[in-house]
């Protein structure tokens, strides 16, 4: 089978690095360019030493190189992990070049820029106008397991915290198991804050500590509600409290809601297992879920507890893989008609 050239936007960011790792292992993708606006010409292995064996001589390309490639390549996979607010205009620039040349790239954006269908909603949440509002209609936004048929050319991946929440919220809403009022407490690893250290993410501050941020006001809440409504057609309320955890990779999210009728944990587990039947990356477990069982993999684990009238669904996933790069590659697999699990079935690292 002919390999599809992949173009990674986002340069030296953690998600871009994870995309490069997954592409190196993928049976149907080959790296055409890793684009860095700040480090063109520098070796990929210098920015990501762990990737040096896979890319010993590969250097970062510039944006003009990416523009040339999408115009020259009849088909290409563009995996965009640029900063929020910058990704939209950059993708628009590449798609304009492709349209002029008559080529057909497929884009998966891992930034937040194409998660809202409404540019006004994006502006309200992010505080600035959308960079390419005319392109929004070309993108769908959903977790791969929640959208059976893709009706747009391109996709926006919901992101790490959002994926962890949506894996619980969407089936609960779709199956009508709960009242549509959710309370979520989620803990994320430090890689979710990006590569550039800040006061909140600097290791001496974060090590052996746990603290909340953006409580009941985080931007992911309106994103999740918009995505969940697009998938299920149902309105809901989401009360979200994110936390910074003292580990590098992974997310643990606990979603609580009130059951519409008394149900035991086994009944809810069975309903979730049926909902995710045929989706190998989402596993419903009878025992409490643990981060170490999913870190560095594309798997997500869910477990359930009930007390008869309320339930809690615990979900764990790797923020860089299932919550970002792995989910994006899953979408690329779908777009090109490959097995959805291609290049993504490696188990978790375990003792990280």
Active site residues: 160
CB within 8 A of 233, min separation 6: which ones? none
Q: From residue 255, how far is each of 165, 190, 213, 312 by CA, in Å?
A: 7, 21, 17, 5
Terminal CA-to-CA distance of the chain, rounded, Å? 35
- CA-CA distances (angstroms) from residue 324 to 193, 250, 256? 13, 11, 24
Among all chains, which residue has been given the structure tokens 């960079």?
A: 131
Quick count: other Cβ atoms within 10 Å of Cβ 99?
13
Distance from the Cα of residue 6 to its chain's centroid: 18
Residues in the chain: 352
Rounded Cα distance, 307 and 137, in Å: 43
Distance between CA 54 and CA 138 in Å, rounded?
Answer: 33
Q: Kind of pairing, strands 300-306 and 282-284?
A: parallel
The dihedral region occupied by 337, where left means phi > 0, alpha psi between -120 and 50, and beta the remainder, is left
Task: Fill in the DSSP letter of residue 347.
Answer: P
| 206, containing H or E segment | helix 203-206
Cα–Cα distance, 334 to 304 (Å, whole number): 29
| Greatest Cα pair distance in the chain | 61
Q: Is 289 exposed, middle or buried (0-12, 13-18, 19+ CB in 10 A)?
A: buried
Rounded Cα–Cα distance for residues 23 and 54 (Å): 10
Q: How far apart are the C-alpha atoms of 73 and 2, rounded to whole Å?
A: 13
Which DSSP letter does residue 43 get? B
């Amino acid at each position: 089978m002919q390999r599809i050239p992949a173009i990674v936007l986002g340069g030296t960011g953690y998600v871009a690095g994870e995309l490069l790792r997954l592409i190196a292992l993928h049976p149907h993708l080959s790296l055409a360019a890793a684009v860095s606006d700040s480090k063109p010409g520098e070796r990929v292995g210098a920015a990501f030493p762990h990737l040096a064996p896979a890319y010993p001589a590969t250097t970062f390309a510039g944006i003009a190189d990416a523009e040339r490639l999408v115009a020259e390549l009849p088909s290409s996979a563009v995996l965009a992990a640029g900063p929020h607010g910058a990704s939209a205009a950059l993708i628009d620039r590449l798609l304009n070049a492709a349209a002029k040349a008559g080529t057909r790239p497929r884009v998966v954006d891992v930034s937040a820029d194409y998660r809202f269908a409404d540019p006004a909603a994006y502006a309200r949440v992010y505080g600035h106008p959308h960079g390419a509002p005319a392109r929004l209609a070309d993108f769908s936004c959903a977790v791969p397991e929640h959208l059976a048929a893709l009706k747009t050319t391109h996709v926006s991946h919901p992101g790490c915290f959002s994926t962890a929440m949506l894996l619980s919220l969407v089936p609960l809403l779709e199956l009508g198991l709960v009242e549509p009022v959710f309370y979520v407490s989620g803990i994320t690893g430090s890689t979710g804050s990006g590569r550039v250290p800040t006061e909140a993410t600097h290791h001496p501050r974060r090590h052996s500590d746990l603290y909340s941020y953006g409580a009941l006001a985080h931007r992911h809440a309106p994103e999740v509600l918009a995505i969940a409504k697009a998938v299920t057609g149902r309105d809901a309320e989401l009360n979200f409290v994110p936390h910074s955890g003292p580990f590098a990779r992974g997310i643990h999210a606990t979603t609580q809601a009130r059951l519409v009728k008394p149900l035991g944990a086994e009944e809810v587990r069975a309903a979730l297992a049926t909902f995710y039947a045929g989706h190998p990356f989402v596993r419903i477990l009878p025992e409490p879920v643990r981060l170490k069982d999913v870190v560095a993999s594309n798997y997500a684990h869910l477990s359930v507890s009930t007390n008869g009238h309320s339930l809690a669904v615990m979900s764990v996933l790797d923020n860089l893989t299932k919550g970002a790069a792995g989910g994006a590659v899953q979408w690329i697999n779908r777009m090109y008609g490959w097995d959805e699990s291609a290049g993504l079935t490696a188990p978790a690292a375990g003792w990280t």
